[in-house]
Structure 1
Amino acid sequence: MTGTADIPQTLEQKLQMAGGPVELLRGPGQLGPYVFPGIPAEFTNWRDEVRAWKDEVALLEQSYHMSELHLRGTDIVPFLSTIAVNRFDPFPVRKAKQIVLASHDGYLVGDAILFHEEADFLRVVGAPFALNWVKYHAENSGHGVTAELDHNWSVVEAPRDVFRFQVQGPRALELVTEVVEGPLPEVGFFSVGDVRIAGKDIRALRHGMAGTPGFELYGPWADQEAVREAFQAAGEKYGLRKVGALAYATTAQESGWLPLPLPAIYHGERMRPYREWVSAFSLEAFGSLGGSLSCDRIENYYVDPIEAGYERLVDWDRDFLGRGALVERAENQRRTKVTLVWNDEDVAAAINSALFDPKLPAQFIALPSPMYSTWAADAVQSGGETIGFSQYMSFSANAGHVLSHGIISQELAEPGTELTLLWGEPGSKRDNVGRNQLREIRATVAPTPYFAKVIKTANR
């Protein structure tokens, strides 16, 4: 009988048992693509739900899949300044800010959004990779900061501290103005104001994902149904659509944000104490790495904050974890982030092969999200030479194409450049992949963010 002593309890133990990070993440038993909890795949149909944030107004639910870390103490901002690359001066109460986190050697660990609620209280909202990194350092910083994790519904389906959803699209401002009781507070971009809706006091973050004013609303968990119903009742005349899990998975594609870069935690002795802290039952330990890029070194699957597009956020005037390595990376940058537009005919041919070619099928391209692993890494080539890789991908009903985020050689990043993406993962050890052969898919370089640079300016 197997005892508990034989079951790994930490990420580091799991890596040792698997024989290394690539062996673990590409091995059997790892999860497939991330599944958004708490909401149906579609409320109506995913094509119209995607078009809603471009043409009318969309309600995007975040109450169930976004993790939250609650930081408390009088020294929160000085603590964060030691581990985050970005500027915190100024960072007043009732402001939000993106936090970007780097490893000791300058790779990207993750990013999240900070909500400065009170002088001694701050929310960190996002994927668990960044939140776990912040929590680990809070517990070991000596700054007197406490950190409490509010798990998302992928971990436990239970009431949470707050509900959270976004109202986005060209008619979002009209809708929010009507639903709010009294005048809408005048708050600047990424600022938080107090509003009252359906008799409930909640907060609204001002921002926009589609190039127009939008809002992220949050408040006590028990108040969510009344607030949501108020938006649905008023939203009919504005063309409001609730966005299901399928459409939500495509939101990052048009904005240029990398939602799931592989966190740079699996390598090196300096990361070992953190891996010994991370649970063997975490997403970091159970996530899967998929795609045609075949490398033995896990570092070849990482990106750094400069490649990910965060150079403008870096505060070079102070010290922070990983600063020295990041300076060197910034001075010797060879890759950059682009949008890759997949060739429609090649996509259709791959789908046709996956469905109707029993001998040598292509890996299936599911729509709207072809992701079949937690972290994707497909080789991108020019003239038969690998010049980077493709990460997160989805079909954009606004663009009318499959798009992906590419991290590629700067020399080939000019919009309009024709490249080749290798699609598939022959010989995969994961059951959800199945038998497949590599397929070449032509891909054209486009700007990032794609929405602001291409869709918004197109005559459609």
Structure 2
Amino acid sequence: MNIASSTGLRSLESIINHAGGPVKLLRGSNIGPYTFPVIPAEFTNWRDEVRSWKDSVALLELSYHMTELHLRGPDTVKFLSTLATNKFDPYPVLRGKQLVLVGHDGYMIGDAIVFREEEEFLRIVGAPFASDWIQYNAEITDMNVTAVRDDNFSVRSGTRDVFRLQIQGPNALALVREVSKGTLPHINFFNIGEFDIAGHTVRALRHGMAGEPGFEIYGPWDIQQEVRAALDEVGQKYGMRKIGAMAYSTTAQESGWMPMPLPAIYHSPEMKPYREWLNQYFLESVGSLGGSFLSDNIEDYYVDPVEVGYRSLIDFDHDFIGKEALRARLAHPKRTKVTLEWNNDDVMACMNSSLTDPNNGGMFMKMPNPMYATFQSDAVMKGGKHAGISQWLAFSANADRIISLALVELEHAEPGTELTVLWGEPNSRRLPVGKNQLREIRATVAPAPYFDKVIKTRNQ
């Protein structure tokens, strides 16, 4: 079903025009940050849950919040290669890829993980922006490919095709070896292998989030409780913690993955047909833009794959949308991704002022994820001049401070560089944001990913 073409639904294009432009639309949305559905905020306490993927082993729940799009047909890989920056020749069965998608001008639309399950079956998993763009193009292509949507539990309930769990941390390999009772094969990085848990065959994508082997385990929806029970029982031996929604919201900051940048779909004539296909039920139409960085130009909020660290995922030996624009961006990079360590004294002073001086205090920093919008964009300054944008922040119980992923100008990207983040959203039109005054938070540049290069080193 093409949910965007149903009678009576308003298109994103008409919503933008009614709002007076994309910035006004997104800055006026009262949607807060993404809330992970179904799982509780905490299973134990979010601090120890966060520490488990560094110190022992964590079970992260992926079954409910990931959007899936299933591509089938003899032209699936050929079709996908026309959209993605990635290399697809060769692309064998039982292999994963981090898929990167850009628009006609080289700005990023989104990323996702693609699983090649069979010769003619690809599974796209991640935030909805990549799946939405791929689904739209599948509906208008002449190639032999079909797209079937398996939405997440933010917009539906019931059952899904597969359950999905992530086992991560220094004890992950030992745990999975034991719970699989010797059936775990050697699986190379970003390959997919099959083995047994609780008498059932499951598959797992081999990856790593914190410098240790990790497994994204998935299988038929109706076997998940037996698989979970087996993991719970064996996991006690290895100090396994289940990760609740609060702790889960801090995973990206340590790993260096910048989730959900603003998709670059709101401005160009080439994207108008897509905006007319999207309707008011898509996150692109209802999402919010927040933070201290202010511009009337929506393009100032976009990112490109080069600056977020995806250079190795760009293959210029095949044709894809945005190829030449991206080639030009690669030749003239302006920003790069870093981690920012926020100064603890400044953070605590801001929090204190928000509680004790509500009329003149800074914006409250809720823990562990002090975000108030779908898309965060805070101004980063150096000597009173603009130096970049901070986009995804959280308090890391492994770093004992707030850290954020930021894009900063190349001249300010050296680790140890002192910068300033402007924190707050004065005169906001969005209801989730209370009255606040802009505050300066000192921040120090650190590498991204932060976990491997800073936290792990400090604890050796």
Q: What is the TM-score with the length of structure 2 in the denominator?
A: 0.97
Partner of 2:55: 55
Partner of 2:113: 113
Contact 2:93 2:119 (8 Å CA) reproduced: yes
Q: Distance in 2 between matches of 1:281 and 1:107?
A: 24
Q: Distance in 2 between matches of 1:399 and 1:350?
A: 19
Change (3 A) 1:8 1:23: farther
Contact 2:358 2:435 (8 Å CA) reproduced: no
After superposition, residues 237-386 of structure 1 pair within 5 angstroms as 237-386=237-386
Q: Secondary structure at the match of 2:270?
A: coil
Q: Secondary structure at the match of 1:456?
A: helix
What amino acid is aligned across from residue 423 of structure 1 in structure 2?
W
The percent of aligned pairs where both chains have the same amino acid is 60
Deviates more, 1:5-14 or 1:177-186: 5-14
Contact 1:260 1:392 (8 Å CA) reproduced: no
Q: Does 1:212 align with 2:212?
A: yes
Q: Does 1:69 align with 2:69?
A: yes
Q: Does 1:24 align with 2:25?
A: yes
The CA deviation at 1:377 is 0.3
Q: Secondary structure at the match of 1:445?
A: strand
Question: What is the number of equivalent residue pairs in this alignment?
Answer: 455
Partner of 1:406: 406
Q: Secondary structure at the match of 2:188?
A: coil
Q: Distance in 2 between matches of 1:20 and 1:8?
A: 19
Q: Secondary structure at the match of 1:93?
A: coil
The CA deviation at 1:183 is 2.9
Give unpaired runs (5+ residues) of structure 1. none
Partner of 1:102: 102
Contact 2:266 2:298 (8 Å CA) reproduced: yes
What amino acid is aligned across from residue 326 of structure 2 in structure 1?
L
Contact 1:255 1:451 (8 Å CA) reproduced: yes
Deviates more, 1:284-293 or 1:137-146: 137-146
Partner of 2:3: none
Contact 2:30 2:432 (8 Å CA) reproduced: no
Deviates more, 1:206-215 or 1:442-451: 206-215
Task: Note the alpha carbon deviations across 1:379-405, whole angstroms, 9 max, x for none.
Answer: 000011111110010011111110111
What amino acid is aligned across from residue 428 of structure 1 in structure 2?
S
Contact 1:173 1:214 (8 Å CA) reproduced: yes
Task: Note the alpha carbon deviations across 1:118-149, whole angstroms, 9 max, x for none.
Answer: 00101000000011011111111211110011
Q: Distance in 2 between matches of 1:398 and 1:255?
A: 12
Q: Distance in 2 between matches of 1:432 and 1:406?
A: 23
Contact 1:53 1:170 (8 Å CA) reproduced: yes
Q: Distance in 1 between matches of 2:220 and 2:419?
A: 49
Partner of 2:439: 439
Instruction: Kindly report structure 1 stretches of 4+ aligned residues shifted beyond 6 Å.
Output: none
The CA deviation at 1:358 is 2.7
Give unpaired runs (5+ residues) of structure 2. 1-5
Contact 1:8 1:14 (8 Å CA) reproduced: no
Partner of 1:13: 14
The CA deviation at 1:367 is 0.8
Q: Distance in 2 between matches of 1:439 and 1:109?
A: 31
The CA deviation at 1:318 is 1.9
Q: Secondary structure at the match of 1:83?
A: coil
Q: What is the TM-score with the length of structure 1 in the denominator?
A: 0.97
What amino acid is aligned across from residue 142 of structure 2 in structure 1?
G
Q: Distance in 2 between matches of 1:7 and 1:88?
A: 39
